[in-house]
Amino acid sequence: MRRHPIQVAVCLAIFLFPPALFAQQTVKLIHADSLIGYSKGNDSYRELIGHVRFQQDTTTLSCDRAVQNLTQDYVNLFGHVRVRDDTLTLLTSQAYYSGKTKTVTSDSAVYLNDTRRTLTADAGTYDSDTKVAHFFGNVFVRDTSSQLRSDTLLYYRNDDMTFADGNVRIKSLDNNVTVYGGHFEDYGKKKFSTVTRAPLLVQIDTSSDGRIDTLLITGKTMDAYRDSANERFVALDSVKIVRGSLSARCGYGIYYSADSLVVLQKTPVVWYEDNQLTGDSVAVYIANKNLSRVDVLGAAFAISQSDSAHPDRYNQLKGRKLTMFLHDRKVSRIIVESNATSLYYLYDKDKPNGANKVSGDRVVMYFIDGKIDKISVISGVEGDYYPENMVKGNLDAYNLAGFVYHKARPMKKNLPDVWK
C-alpha cells in the first residue's frame, strides 16, 4: 500500500520527536498538506505547507504555510492567515501565535470582523484568552451607525469597551455628526462614550436655500449618551459654540441631535450678529436646518449696538424670560416677559437724542434688517426719557442693572481647522 506524503512526514516527525514532546503542545495541528520536522539549537520545529490548520481551545488558525516551534509552543503563520474565535475573524498576511499566552500578533495589515463591526489597521494583536484586541496605525472601525478612525485602538470584547488614541474621529452615520479629539472611550453596555484632549463636534447642514451651515462645539470633554432615541452630546468646561452668525460660550452645553436643539448653562453668553444674550440658561432652536429661535430663562439680558456710528451706546432688554426670533437669518423680534425693562437710544437725523427707559409686564422689540424698528410695551407701563445733555458723557449711569458687554466671542478662525 502506497503511503500519502503527509502520512510519511507525520511518521518521520514522530520518529524524530518523541510523543511526549507533542503531548506538551497546546497548539494542535489539525491539517497540513506536507510536514517537515527539524531541530535548531535546543528547539524542535516543524514546517507545514498547504491548507495548514491549527486549533487551541475555541480558536482556530489557518494559513498557507507555518513554522511551529514545538519547544517554545508558538507558530509563525504565513499567507492568507485567518484566526477565528467564536464570532470573531481576523485576517492578515502573516502573524505570530503564542500557545502560552493565546495571543496572535501581526505586523502586517489586519482585518477584523466581529459580526457587529469591522476593523482595519496596519498591525494588531488579539488575546483569545482575555478577548482583548489592540490595533496600531490607521485604525478604521465601522458598525451599523458609526465610523471611527484613530492611531491606536484597544477593544475589550467581553465588556464591549473601546479606547482609541491619536487623531480620533468618530462619525455618526445617522445624524452626520463628527467628533474629533485626542482620546476616545466607549462603553457599549452603558451606551455612553466620551472624547477628551481638545474635543470638537462638527455637524454640517445644508439648508433649503442651499447654504451650508456648520455647527461647531468645543470643550475640555465631549460626552455622548445613546440611552434613548433622543441622542445627546454634552460638552463640559470652557465650552465654545459657532453656527453661522451665532457664537456662544458657557460652562456646560448639550446638543440634542434629533431635536436640533442646543442648551447652554453655567454663565452662557450668546452672540448673534450685533446682539448679545445672557441668562441662567439658553436654548437655541434649529428648524429646517436654519436657526429659528433663542430662549433665555432666568436673569435674561439682551444687548445690541444702537448705531454703528456710536459704538459705545447699547440698546438693552432685561427680564426673567427672553425670546429672540429669527427670520431669513435676521433677528425679527425680541420678546421679554416678567419684570421687563428696556433702554434704547434715540436719534434725530443720525444725531444722538437721548434715551428712553421703559418697563412693563411685556416688552417687544421689532427689527428690520437687524435694526430696531419699534418697541411695544404691554401692561403696567412705566417710562422715562433722558435728554441728550444728561446722557452724553454719562452713558454708564443709564445702563440697566446687570449690564455686562463681552467683546470677545468664539469665531471659526479660533477653532481647529479639521472640518475643512
For residue 2, the 8-state DSSP code is P
Closest by Cα among 375, 336, 383 to 358: 383
pLDDT number for residue 414? 54
pLDDT number for residue 375? 86
- For 270, the grid coordinates are 450668546
Q: By three-state DSSP, how is residue 220 classified?
A: coil
Domain chopping of the chain, boundaries = 1-100, 101-414
In CATH terms, the fold of domain 101-414 is lipopolysaccharide transport protein A fold (2.60.450)
pLDDT number for residue 169? 97
pLDDT number for residue 213? 79
| Gap between the Cα atoms of 50 and 31, Å rounded | 9
CA atoms within 13 A on the CB side of 210: 0
pLDDT number for residue 395? 94
What does 99-166 look like in DSSP terms, one character per residue?
A: TTTTEEEESS-EEEE-SSEEEEESEEEEETTTTEEEEEEEEEEEESSEEEEEEEEEEETTTTEEEEEE
The answer to whether 177 and 147 are in contact (CB under 8 A) is no
248 sits in which H/E element: strand 246-256
Detail the DSSP E strand segments found in 18-87: 28-31, 34-40, 43-56, 59-69, 74-85
Dihedral pair phi/psi, residue 189, rounded to 5°: -65, -30
Type of residue found at 229: A
CA atoms within 13 A on the CB side of 151: 6
| Gap between the Cα atoms of 278 and 300, Å rounded | 6
Dihedral pair phi/psi, residue 129, rounded to 5°: -85, -50
The alpha-carbon radius of gyration of the chain (Å, integer) is 34
Dihedral pair phi/psi, residue 228, rounded to 5°: -155, 180
The answer to whether 169 and 149 are in contact (CB under 8 A) is yes
| Gap between the Cα atoms of 200 and 398, Å rounded | 40
Question: Would you write out the chain's pLDDT as a tens digit for each of its 420 residues?
Answer: 444 444 444 444 444 444 444 445 589 999 999 999 999 999 999 999 999 999 999 999 999 999 999 999 999 999 999 999 999 999 999 999 999 999 999 999 999 999 889 999 999 999 999 999 999 999 999 998 899 999 999 999 999 999 999 999 999 988 889 999 999 999 999 999 999 999 999 998 776 666 777 899 999 999 999 877 778 999 999 999 999 889 999 999 999 988 889 999 999 999 998 899 999 999 999 887 788 899 999 999 999 988 888 889 999 999 999 999 998 888 999 999 988 999 999 999 889 999 999 999 999 989 888 778 888 888 878 889 999 999 999 999 999 999 999 987 877 655 555 434
| Gap between the Cα atoms of 184 and 242, Å rounded | 23
Dihedral pair phi/psi, residue 342, rounded to 5°: -130, 145
| Gap between the Cα atoms of 111 and 122, Å rounded | 9
pLDDT number for residue 416? 54
Q: Torsion angle of alpha carbons 410, 411, 416, 417, nearest 10°?
A: 170
Closest by Cα among 75, 77, 124 to 102: 75
- For 327, the grid coordinates are 427670520
pLDDT number for residue 10? 42
The answer to whether 362 and 378 are in contact (CB under 8 A) is yes
| Gap between the Cα atoms of 95 and 274, Å rounded | 62
Give every CB contact of residue 130 below 8 A, 6+ residues apart in sequence: none
For the chain, the first-to-last Cα distance in angstroms comes to 73
Type of residue found at 310: H
